[in-house]
Amino acid sequence: MNRLLDAHCEQILQEYRDHLPEFQKQALAIQHTLRTTLDKAGIIVASIESRVKTEDSLAGKLELKGAKYKSLADITDIVGLRVITYYSEDVDKVASAVDRLFDIDWENSVDKRKLLEIDTFGYLSLHYICTKKGFEYRFEIQMRTILQHAWANMNHDTGYKSGVEIPTYYRRSLSRMAGLLELVDEEFSRIRVELADYRRKVQALVASGNLDDAPLDLETYRSFLDMEPFDRLNRNIAGINQAEIQPVSLLPYLEVFQFLECKTLGDVDRLIKECSDGAFQLASYQMALTDLDIISSSVGPQNLCIAYILKRGGGSVGIKRMFDILNGPSDSHEMLAEFLLEQAKDLPFMNEKSHGTH
């Protein structure tokens, strides 16, 4: 687009052209610094974007209010970055990281979250104008949540840059949506805080050994796995052939334990105690006459569940169901179930009296 710029603005534009490669280089370098710092701090963000203002956009800005700027250095968003977080409290964490990494021009930085009146809803974002060593220009870092970002984009598309004054009704709709998204942001944060609290309680229960008070769910089971409850059995099984143990996720066994009607971690713990001998006997029978010297860490829980099912009279149907849960339904699991039933029938654990796990 052809812009009508005076000599002063043309001079600023030329300065921009001369420094464009440096702007591009710095934008990427700042993005990298931010990424590395946030990763190191364990702050998970949805995205970190960087951009250099296009010549056309800068020319438009200069055409509109060129007299305001003495030089290119007065324009603070030639290099711009945007950090999008999942949670609203992470915006402040990112801001804190930015504050440590760069010098902030507080006079020109804006916390738009604080600008809105208590009875209005709209654009919430934190904008820091920064400088860094080795780069003579200021740059802008915007920080906001993913929902604020969504709203800002929608508002941008339908709002002020469309060149058409939008009716009050639509402005009110957008404002209403901003209020709704603000509420959702707060709810997400509240849920995260409560989940973290629940996790801590569960970890305390597991650590104190009060496993019967911990209901069996994904959170509690994860904490339980941190105690490596199957390690001893796996080591014993590996010892049969001096096998190496390949660690794999044992989370899929949560559904199997639930199928076996374990309601608490205490139930799982008792199942392990009750069936470890049987699981080992089964593994010994299978492995002893082979030269297999590699197993995965799921062998322990797999054999525990098989021993438990067989001791409870679940037979091949129960074993097939277990494999179906773990690997998806397959007719081949019936063959495996029959094979296991045949192997186990004369093993000592099959003749032991069950003590009732739950």
Partner 1 sequence: MEVFIEKENNVTTARFVGRLDTPASQEVSKSVEPILEDPSGTIVLDCKDMEYISSSGLRIFLTIRKAAASKGGKVIVKDINNDIRQVFMMTGFLNLFEIQ
Torsion angles phi and psi, residue 111, rounded to 5: -100, 95
In sequence order, what are the beta bridge partners of 85?
Answer: 45, 145
User: Would you count residue 339 as binding partner 1 (CB under 8 A)?
Assistant: yes
* Chosen residue from 298, 307, 311, 341 binding partner 1 by CB under 8 A: 298
Query: Which of 221, 253, 230 has the alpha carbon at shortest distance from 323?
Result: 253
For partner 1, the closer CB: 131 or 258: 258
| Binding range to partner 1, per CB under 8 A, among 59-67, 90-98, 191-199, 331-339 | 331-339
323 binding partner 1? (CB under 8 A): yes
Candidates 7-15, 215-223, 267-275, 334-342: pick the segment binding partner 1 (CB under 8 A): 334-342
Does 52 contact partner 1 by CB under 8 A?
no
Residue 14 sits in the site that holds partner 1 (CB under 8 A): no
Work out whether 317 is an interface residue with partner 1 (CB under 8 A). no
**Interface segment toward partner 1; rule CB under 8 A; list 2-10, 117-125, 216-224, 288-296:** 288-296
Interaction between residue 290 and partner 1 (CB under 8 A): yes
Encoded tokens for 358: 């739950």
Both tokens assigned to 337: 């179930």
The reply to whether 295 sits near partner 1 by the rule CB under 8 A is yes
What per-residue string of b and e applies to 143-172 under the rule 16 or more CB within 10 Å gives b?
Answer: bbbbbbbebbeebeeeeeeeeeeeeeeeee
For 48-93, the DSSP string reads EEEEE--HHHHHHHHHHHGGG-SSGGG-TTSEEEEEEESSHHHHHH
**How do strand 79-85 and strand 45-52 relate by DSSP bridges?**
antiparallel
> How far, in Å, CA of 114 to CA of 30, rounded?
26
- 206, 220 Cβ separation under 8 angstroms: yes
> Which of 56, 103, 261, 293: binder of partner 1 (CB under 8 A)?
293
Which residue, 183 or 335, has its beta carbon nearer to partner 1? 335
Residues 234-253, mask of contacts with partner 1 (x by CB under 8 A): ---------x--x-x---x-
109 interacts with partner 1 by CB under 8 A: no
Residue 335, token pair as written in the block? 């063959």
Q: Which residue in 145, 203, 281, 286 binds partner 1 (CB under 8 A)?
A: 286
Q: Which is nearer to partner 1, 81 or 233 (CB)?
A: 233
Residue 336 binding partner 1, by CB under 8 A:
yes
Contact 325, 260 (CB under 8 A): no
* 277 alpha carbon, distance to own chain's centre: 39
Q: Compute the distance between CA of residue 28 and CA of residue 36 in angstroms, rounded to an integer.
A: 12
Decide: is 296 part of the binding site for partner 1 (CB under 8 A): yes
- Range in contact with partner 1 (rule: CB under 8 A) among 26-34, 153-161, 208-216, 285-293: 285-293
Query: Could you tell me which of 180, 186, 262, 192 has the C-alpha nearest to residue 221?
Result: 262
Binding footprint of partner 1, residue count (CB under 8 A): 27
Piece of the chain touching partner 1 by CB under 8 A; list 7-15, 55-63, 87-95, 289-297: 289-297
* Residue of 141, 128, 33 whose CA lies nearest to 83: 141
Length of the chain: 358
Residue whose CB is less far from partner 1, 80 or 229: 229
Tokens of 70: 């003495």
Q: Is 115 in the site for partner 1 (CB under 8 A)?
A: no
Question: Where does this chain bind partner 1 (CB under 8 A)?
Answer: 243, 246, 248, 252, 283, 286-287, 290-299, 302, 323, 326-327, 330, 332, 335-336, 339-340
